[in-house]
Structure 1
């Protein structure tokens, strides 16, 4: 059975999967979460961070074919890893994610879609190397259905998000089998946009949860169960 490698989105870290990992273990699925460079416990300076460095960080954790799960901005990171080493990635699962389109960066997709709630939540740093989420909008935009104690912990662990990876396009999409998990009460990436991006790949199979952008906070058990189905279903 392939390991699941859980890749967080913007401003988060491996910590956001803490409630999901034991649920996956209970289902018999080996899974690990990692901090992308500049996130969580990783202290790489923002000026040194690139999309290619994200791919390197992911691939350094894999020694046999694995299933990569990318949440939100993590969708670009897992695609970059699969593009570089398709032999090490058995499938991709995009969790309410930004899904690459050839020649377009994540920032290109975001600007074209103009998701209003997400745009209001972003705060660029003075040097424009990073952006952060406005604390007062975090719950409403990303986790309105999560318990307040989990929201408080998440807010306390948020970090600035490097801009450079978001401005880097992928020139081609990986051939790795791709699956998509939609969140139907997402205010950050609207469900219609999630589906449009998945249709463009196209995703081989999709599933959905009735949650906000942060199902790892609001419904970790249901998230684990759905990831398990997507990870083990026929490709």
Structure 2
């Protein structure tokens, strides 16, 4: 059976280049796997206005990138804030094309709620300040290091902090709508157990808000697991793709 394509959706304050180390590992472990790491609008060269961003715009962007890459069936991975985007992408593509959705340390608010309604930890004050101004803001290196980088090597921290981007204030205050999310699509959760940005209990609340998952894979990693544990994450994702192909 051919492998599905693997789509990687970055979280807040990041862009597609946060996946670079993991993508390199994926190519080493499974050269046949087609991997697409997308940029959401408003960062690097991707057209978009962060001051007026919406979840629907971000969903449209990811779907367009998948279509332009000529991917058929896919496994889609969402990290962090991508927890509000990936369900919309899955709803658009449908269960016939999405073999599995994987959430890695993701923010998934309850239906009709927004990220800011349930956000705690070190990013809460930043998110509320950004929401109050309504303007895109960039995390300070100090806050980003604390929230994203605990347990990293010096090189991994440097990699992370050199790839920080301004983030929209709009996405965190927009209520989510998962009413069209297909129930037939399998769900996996990568649980980062050393996460300062999203605690274990917060991730469990997100799992509950999602309606549960079929598989939980714990990993002793910080929030930016795709940087701190690129090889281990790549193994997990290749395994998911192979399992869906076999199924």
Please say whether Structure 1 and Structure 2 have the same fold, judged by a TM-score greater than 0.5: yes
Q: In the superposition, relative to structure 1, how do residues 101 and 185 fare at CA in structure 2: closer, same or farther (>3 Å)?
A: same
Deviation at 1:191, TM superposition (A): 1.1
Which residue matches 2:213?
203
Q: In the superposition, relative to structure 1, how do residues 67 and 104 fare at CA in structure 2: closer, same or farther (>3 Å)?
A: same
Deviation at 1:90, TM superposition (A): 2.3
Q: Distance in 2 between matches of 1:163 and 1:88?
A: 31
The 8 Å contact of residues 144 and 212 in structure 1, kept in 2 or not, is answered as: yes
Deviation at 1:101, TM superposition (A): 2.5
The 8 Å contact of residues 13 and 167 in structure 2, kept in 1 or not, is answered as: yes
The answer as to 2:135 corresponding to 1:135 is no
Gaps of 5+ in 1: none
Which residue matches 1:231?
241
**TM-score (norm. length: structure 2):** 0.85
128-137 or 178-187, which deviates more: 128-137
Residue of 163, 167, 180 corresponding to 2:189: 180
Partner-residue secondary structure (3-state), 2:44: coil
Q: How much is the aligned-residue C-alpha RMSD, in angstroms?
A: 2.1
Q: What does 1:83-232 align with in structure 2 at a 5 Å threshold?
A: 83-86=91-94, 87-110=96-119, 114-115=120-121, 117-120=122-125, 122=127, 124=130, 127-173=133-179, 174-175=181-182, 176-200=185-209, 201-232=211-242
Which residue matches 1:70?
78
The 8 Å contact of residues 51 and 166 in structure 1, kept in 2 or not, is answered as: no
Partner-residue secondary structure (3-state), 1:62: helix
Partner-residue secondary structure (3-state), 1:70: strand
Kindly report structure 1 stretches of 4+ aligned residues shifted beyond 6 Å.
none
Gaps of 5+ in 2: none
The 8 Å contact of residues 51 and 134 in structure 2, kept in 1 or not, is answered as: no
Aligned residues: 231
Which residue matches 2:26?
24
The 8 Å contact of residues 88 and 178 in structure 2, kept in 1 or not, is answered as: no
After superposition, the C-alpha distances for 1:88-110 in whole angstroms (9 at most, x for unaligned) are 42221000001242212222232
